[in-house]
């Protein structure tokens, strides 16, 4: 029988190794073993720590929920997950935050669609996923895993800004001036305008939302979203 402490240890290992390898250790490792070698080490550590986290989660006991979950909360979470799905699909195209393989990155002239909302739509989609899963499944092991994903996404986004400022000093600060880390902050400040969402983001997000919420039935054994 596993324990909640094992889930916490695995979550710390997963998140901590990601931050260590992505930032303070990256430069030295690349010098020592090259970019390809670093990517291999990074991938191996990510797979091993994620596998540990999944195994620990499955073995940990199911504790009592910390609060009751009613239909009202489910309705809110279902709507937020649709937004997260749109963020995720919209972030897959013309995202200047994605890795470029060492090539110079390009910055859009204007922030439109999901990038008008936040310059880190992918990271915020993961964070919203984590917050939603805490809200509707408030048991200890799930809270730990979801909180780890939220920390990884939001702290990772902030650290990504710092790295991009260093690597693209002529481009990234200009992108930051048009966008915001926090959702809707640039729109509220008048630096961006809401609108310009692509069909890929809207329709793709809808498809992902429908498929992911339906998948809870065969994978988790209970319905989620509109399938409830």
Per-residue pLDDT of the chain (228 residues; tens, 9 = 90+): 578 999 999 999 999 999 999 888 888 888 899 888 988 999 999 999 999 999 999 999 999 999 999 999 999 999 999 999 999 999 999 999 887 655 556 788 889 999 999 999 999 999 999 999 999 999 999 999 999 999 999 999 999 999 899 888 989 999 999 999 999 999 999 999 999 999 999 999 999 999 999 999 998 888 899 998
SS3 188: helix
Q: What is the pLDDT of residue 222?
A: 87
Q: What are phi and psi of 20, to 5 degrees?
A: -65, -45
Domain ranges of the chain: 1-61, 65-227
SS (H, E, C) the chain: CCCHHHHHHHHHHHHHHHHHHHCCCHHHHHHHHHHHHHHHHHHHHHHHHHHHHHHHHHHCCCCCCCCCCCHHHHHHHHHHHHHHHHHHHHCCCCCCCCCCCCCCCCCCCCCCCHHHHCCCHHHHHHHHHHHHHHHHCCCHHHHHHHHHHHHHHHHHHHHHHHHHHHHCCCCHHHHHHHCCCCCCHHHHCCCCCCCCCCHHHHHHHHHHHHHHHHHHHHHHCCCCHHHC
Find out whether 179 and 191 touch, Cβ atoms under 8 Å. yes
Query: Alpha-carbon distance 205 to 196, whole Å?
Result: 15
What pTM was estimated for this model as a whole?
0.92
Q: What is the pLDDT of residue 30?
A: 86
Q: What is the pLDDT of residue 31?
A: 87
Find out whether 205 and 89 touch, Cβ atoms under 8 Å. yes
Measured in residues, the chain has a length of 228
Q: What is the pLDDT of residue 22?
A: 86
Q: Is the dihedral of CA 208, 54, 150, 159 positive or negative?
A: negative
- Give the number of other Cβ atoms within 10 Å of residue 88's Cβ: 24
Q: What is the pLDDT of residue 137?
A: 96
């Amino acid at each position: 029988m596993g324990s909640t402490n094992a889930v916490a240890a695995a979550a710390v290992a997963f998140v901590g190794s990601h931050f260590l390898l992505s930032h303070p250790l990256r430069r030295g490792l690349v010098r020592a073993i090259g970019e390809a070698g670093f990517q291999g080490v990074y991938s191996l550590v990510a797979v091993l720590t994620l596998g540990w986290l999944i195994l620990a989660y499955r073995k940990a006991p199911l504790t009592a929920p910390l609060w009751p979950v009613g239909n009202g909360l489910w309705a809110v979470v279902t709507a937020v997950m649709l937004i997260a799905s749109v963020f995720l699909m919209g972030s897959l195209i013309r995202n200047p935050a994605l890795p470029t393989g060492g090539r110079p990155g390009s910055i859009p002239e204007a922030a439109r669609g999901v990038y008008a909302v936040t310059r880190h739509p992918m990271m915020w989609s993961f964070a919203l996923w984590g917050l939603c899963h805490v809200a509707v499944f408030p048991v200890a092991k799930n809270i730990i895993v979801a909180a780890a994903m939220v920390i990884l996404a939001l702290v990772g986004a902030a650290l990504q800004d710092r790295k991009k400022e260093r690597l693209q000093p002529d481009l990234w600060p200009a992108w930051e001036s048009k966008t915001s880390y926090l959702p809707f902050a640039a729109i509220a400040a008048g630096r961006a305008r809401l609108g310009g969402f692509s069909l890929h983001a809207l329709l793709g997000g809808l498809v992902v939302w429908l498929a992911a919420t339906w998948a809870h039935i065969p994978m988790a054994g209970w319905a989620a979203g509109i399938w409830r």
